[in-house]
């Protein structure tokens, strides 16, 4: 089976990131998805930590397919919206710093408006 375009979530392999990377390599996949909410806290990753993660990825021959970052509420909910936006910006920066082209998130319910109701 062609595995060059497959990605696996790191947290589903192991709670330990280094072990997840080794297991992904052993499975023959070439990309891994990191969890920015429960597996890797973007606000806690230092420049040294970024270098270490990039080294581990290189050692195992992996790239990051994306960062999963599920917020506790949607962006249409005014309650604690500024905190969600700030946390999402940090997750986007982490993805950029690690070379990931995607951040997976759920924006929440999109309310119907007069314009969209006509479609």
Write out residues in the chain with pLDDT < 50, as ranges. Answer: none
State the pLDDT at residue 113: 67
Q: What is the pLDDT of residue 118?
A: 52
pLDDT of residue 116: 55
What is the rounded distance in angstroms from the CA atom of residue 16 to the CA atom of residue 11? 8
* C-alpha distances in Å from residue 61, one per residue of 15, 64, 77, 118: 20, 10, 41, 50
Predicted pLDDT at 61? 94
Q: Return the domain boundaries, the chain.
A: 7-73+89-107
Between strands 7-9 and 31-35, the pairing is parallel
Closest CA to 68 of 34, 40, 97: 34
Q: What is the pTM of this model?
A: 0.78
């Amino acid at each position: 089976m062609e595995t060059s375009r497959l990605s696996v979530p790191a947290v589903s392999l192991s709670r330990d990131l280094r072990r997840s990377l080794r297991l992904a390599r052993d499975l023959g996949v070439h990309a891994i998805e990191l969890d920015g909410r429960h597996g890797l806290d973007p606000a806690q990753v230092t420049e040294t930590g970024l270098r270490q993660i990039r080294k581990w990825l290189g050692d195992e021959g992996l790239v990051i397919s994306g960062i999963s970052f599920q917020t506790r509420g949607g962006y249409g909910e005014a309650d604690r919206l500024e905190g969600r936006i700030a946390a999402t910006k940090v997750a986007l920066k982490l993805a950029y710093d690690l070379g990931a082209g995607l951040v997976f998130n759920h924006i929440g319910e999109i309310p119907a408006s007069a314009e969209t109701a006509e479609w």
